């Protein structure tokens, strides 16, 4: 009889391969992908070579042990004067091979782990670094879960090409050749009869595998739906929406329905697996019985020795595993190659914002911003995204209409310039061209006299600080969020920045102070408190240029007043570009640039624009009739 654990492993491997066969379908992977994959193995070539050598030796040991066991039986059944010594010697040799096999198994596992984890590290860090460089539109279009899956599931699937798939295929091939070769040399008759039972195992296994694959696919889809539901409902914003508008009973019933189907599928898969494993063990038992029957008859007839029968029976237990593995080798290899292909798909998506090889640093303290006949349109989906990450069949290639058309203006050092206009006029887009969140389609944006496309990205980040209307805080401590702007800042510098941002007293009142975890997206703080922490982060960075993108748009009057005081501190001595939703907040601006449909239609001071009676005057009168708010001052 075969070893139950080994048979269970064969059964699991077979069912897993059947599932992957269904998932892959007729998919083909290019030769270029395979060659590119090998480049990732190059740094580990020596370790892979040693790994394969160990696989060959362990395969040889697996075949040698049954042969030695048969020799023991032969010595016992044909006693001689030196039979006892020979039996002890062979037993010692079997024990030595067992020890060697154990040591090699540990070595093989270590090599496998080093190769596999090394490749995972190389791929994961490369993908993570590459994704960080993608344009903002990539993230607005991509499903976050699909992107994370590339970093986890596909990267792990890719590394299996050099570990389990490589070792499994090579080991199975060597084991099969050696096992069949030795069995034929011992008794070709028994070997041929044993191999006749292989189709009786493989054919039903494939039929069962098709059904298991269908159930597995449905289970994956249901699990994905449940994961999506949980991700949406368990997020702070989603949980709040459910509490305000949702019906918990309906939510629970819908989730329970999907969970019940997954449960039922799990039971059916377990039963299919049980039938499969029982069938596998039955075939193995029948093959063993055939070996003992036919081989025993030959031994009684004196054609072969009794020990040969034992060797054949033991070798038979090592025959079905390699046959099964090799029958699915193509699927295993394709699975690994497809994982590589999906990883390469992300790596081949070129970042829209890239640093030139000869980029120059923006001079420290540079504070001039100049827009020269700037035109901009957002890229199409096909330019910045992947269909597989958006869960669509094809990407939209339609080119959008221009957002900006010939925008030109200059912000001198120390000035506060406000961008105003109706919703959709292009205010935020204009501001985000300065730190290269987007790149112009035509024209140029200059900082300190240098085209931002010619500047090093790091010097651009150092020169510019941004506070948006939705200040994002990571689920980390206040100190860690602040040090994101300046990692080497001392605690004293953190407190100074918090005090200048009008939030120091609040942080001191917290039990954990700077070590307080802000919660997911900063939800443990109010909107005004988050904004002031973000302003403290900006003050810690100490840029020469500040961009405020409607930083007080969603705040109540009290919070807005506190944030305005913090902004006044933040703008002292700095060049400021302010996107204003509430026009009353920028009456003290040195210059107001009015945008409409991506075109500069007016510019001037508050008083000049009101006197002109144009678009700005209309917008201001409309808002002033509803609410007036504290004014941002420059501190000059």
Handedness of CA 289, 291, 294, 297 (dihedral sign): negative
Model pLDDT, residue 373: 95
Mean pLDDT estimate for the chain? 80
Beta strands in 581-622 (DSSP E): 591-596, 599-604
Cβ density class 247-256: b for 16+ within 10 Å, e for less: eeeeeeeeee
90-119 pLDDT, tens digit per residue, is 889 999 999 999 999 999 889 888 888 888
Q: Phi/psi at 453 (nearest 5 deg)?
A: -75, -15
Q: Phi/psi at 348 (nearest 5 deg)?
A: -85, -10
Beta carbons within 10 angstroms of residue 30's beta carbon: 11
Highest mean pLDDT pick, 124-128, 404-408, 472-476: 404-408
125-150 pLDDT, tens digit per residue, is 888 888 888 877 777 777 776 777 77
Rounded to whole angstroms, the Cα distance separating 563 from 555 reads 9
492-526 pLDDT, tens digit per residue, is 999 999 988 888 989 999 888 999 988 765 557 88
Beta strands in 366-433 (DSSP E): 369-376, 404-411, 416-420
Per CATH, 4-347 and 369-387+398-624 having the same topology is answered no
Rounded to whole angstroms, the Cα distance separating 310 from 90 reads 15
Model pLDDT, residue 93: 92
Given a cut of 70, whether residue 574 has pLDDT beyond it is yes
Question: Going by DSSP bridges, is the β-strand pair 591-596/416-420 parallel, antiparallel, or unpaired?
Answer: parallel
pLDDT band at 1 (very low <50, low <70, confident <90, very high): very low
Handedness of CA 5, 313, 166, 206 (dihedral sign): negative
Are residues 265 and 218 in contact, defined by beta-carbon separation less than 8 angstroms? yes
- DSSP-based three-state secondary structure for 404: strand
Model pLDDT, residue 210: 66
Model pLDDT, residue 22: 46
Given a cut of 70, whether residue 539 has pLDDT beyond it is yes
Rounded to whole angstroms, the Cα distance separating 416 from 278 reads 79
Query: What CATH number is given for 4-347 in this structure?
Result: 1.20.1560.10
- The closest alpha carbon to 420, from 587, 631, 629, 558, belongs to 587
More confident residue, 596 or 202: 596
Average the pLDDT over 151-165 and give the result.
72
196-215 pLDDT, tens digit per residue, is 777 766 666 666 666 776 77
Model pLDDT, residue 551: 65
Given a cut of 90, whether residue 447 has pLDDT beyond it is yes
Rounded to whole angstroms, the Cα distance separating 615 from 349 reads 42
CATH 3.30.565.10, applies to 369-387+398-624: no
Given a cut of 60, whether residue 6 has pLDDT beyond it is no
Model pLDDT, residue 445: 95
Beta carbons within 10 angstroms of residue 577's beta carbon: 24
313-357 pLDDT, tens digit per residue, is 888 777 777 776 776 666 667 767 777 777 888 888 888 788 889
Listed by start position, the domains of the chain span: 4-347, 369-387+398-624
Among the ranges given (59-63, 160-164, 363-367, 494-498), the one the predictor scored with the smallest mean pLDDT: 160-164
Given a cut of 70, whether residue 69 has pLDDT beyond it is yes
Model pLDDT, residue 629: 45
């Amino acid at each position: 009889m075969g070893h139950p654990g080994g048979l269970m492993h064969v059964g699991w491997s077979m069912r897993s391969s059947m599932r992957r066969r269904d998932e892959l379908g007729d998919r083909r992977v290019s030769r270029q992908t395979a060659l590119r994959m090998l480049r990732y193995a190059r740094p580990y070539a020596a370790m892979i070579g040693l790994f394969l050598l160990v696989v060959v030796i362990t395969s040889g040991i697996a075949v040698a042990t049954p042969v030695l066991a048969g020799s023991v039986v032969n010595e016992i059944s044909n006693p001689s004067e030196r039979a006892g010594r020979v039996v002890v010697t062979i037993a010692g040799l079997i024990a030595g091979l067992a020890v060697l096999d154990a040591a090699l198994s540990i070595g093989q596992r270590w090599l496998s782990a080093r190769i596999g984890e090394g490749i995972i590290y190389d791929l994961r860090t490369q993908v993570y670094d590459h994704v960080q460089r993608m344009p903002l539109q990539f993230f607005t279009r991509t499903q976050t879960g699909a992107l994370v899956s590339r970093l986890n599931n596909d990267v792990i699937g890719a590394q299996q090409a050099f570990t389990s798939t490589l070792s499994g295929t090579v080991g199975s091939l060597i084991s099969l050749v050696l096992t069949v070769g030795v069995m034929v040399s011992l008794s070709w008759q028994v070997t041929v009869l044993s191999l006749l039972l292989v189709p009786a195992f493989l054919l039903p296994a494939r039929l069962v595998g098709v059904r298991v694959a269908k159930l597995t696919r449905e289970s994956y889809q249901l699990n994905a739906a449940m994961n999506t539901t949980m991700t949406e409902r368990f997020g702070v914003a989603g949980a709040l929406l459910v509490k305000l508008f949702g019906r918990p009973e309906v939510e629970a019933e819908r989730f329970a329905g999907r969970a019940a189907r997954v449960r039922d599928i799990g039971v059916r898969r377990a039963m299919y697996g049980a039938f499969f494993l029982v069938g596998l063990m039955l075939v193995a038992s029948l093959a063993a019985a055939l070996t003992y029957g036919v081989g025993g008859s030959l031994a009684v007839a004196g054609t072969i020795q009794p020990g040969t029968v034992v060797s054949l029976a033991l070798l038979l237990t090592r025959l079905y595993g390699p046959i099964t593995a090799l029958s699915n080798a193509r699927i295993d290899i394709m699975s690994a190659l497809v994982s590589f292909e999906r990883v390469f798909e992300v790596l081949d998506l070129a970042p829209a914002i890239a640093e030139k090889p000869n980029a120059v640093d923006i001079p420290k303290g540079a504070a001039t911003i100049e827009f020269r006949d700037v035109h901009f349109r957002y890229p199409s989906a096909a330019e910045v995204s992947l269909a597989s990450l958006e869960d669509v069949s094809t990407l939209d290639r339609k080119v959008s209409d221009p957002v900006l058309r010939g925008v030109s203006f200059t912000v001198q050092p120390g000035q506060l310039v406000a961008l105003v206009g109706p919703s959709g006029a292009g205010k935020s887009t204009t501001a985000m061209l300065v730190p290269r969140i987007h790149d112009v389609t035509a024209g140029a944006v200059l900082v300190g006299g240098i085209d931002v496309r010619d500047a090093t990205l790091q010097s651009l980040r150092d020169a510019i600080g941004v506070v948006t209307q939705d200040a994002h805080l990571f689920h980390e401590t206040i100190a860690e969020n602040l040090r994101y702007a300046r990692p080497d800042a001392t605690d004293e510098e953190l407190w100074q920045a918090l005090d200048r941002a009008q939030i120091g007293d609040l942080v001191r009142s917290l039990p954990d102070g700077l070590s307080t975890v802000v919660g997911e997206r900063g939800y443990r703080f109010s909107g005004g408190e988050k904004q002031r922490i973000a302003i403290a982060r900006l003050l810690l960075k100490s840029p020469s240029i500040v961009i405020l993108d409607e930083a007080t748009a969603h705040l109540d009057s009290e919070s807005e007043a506190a944030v305005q005081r913090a902004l006044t501190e933040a703008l002292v001595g700095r060049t400021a570009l302010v996107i204003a939703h509430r026009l009353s907040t920028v009456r003290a601006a040195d210059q107001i640039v009015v945008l409409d449909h991506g075109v500069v239609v007016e510019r001037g001071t508050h008083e000049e624009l009101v006197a002109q009676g144009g678009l700005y005057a209309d917008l201001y009168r409309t808002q002033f009739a509803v609410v007036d708010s504290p004014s941002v001052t420059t501190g000059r």
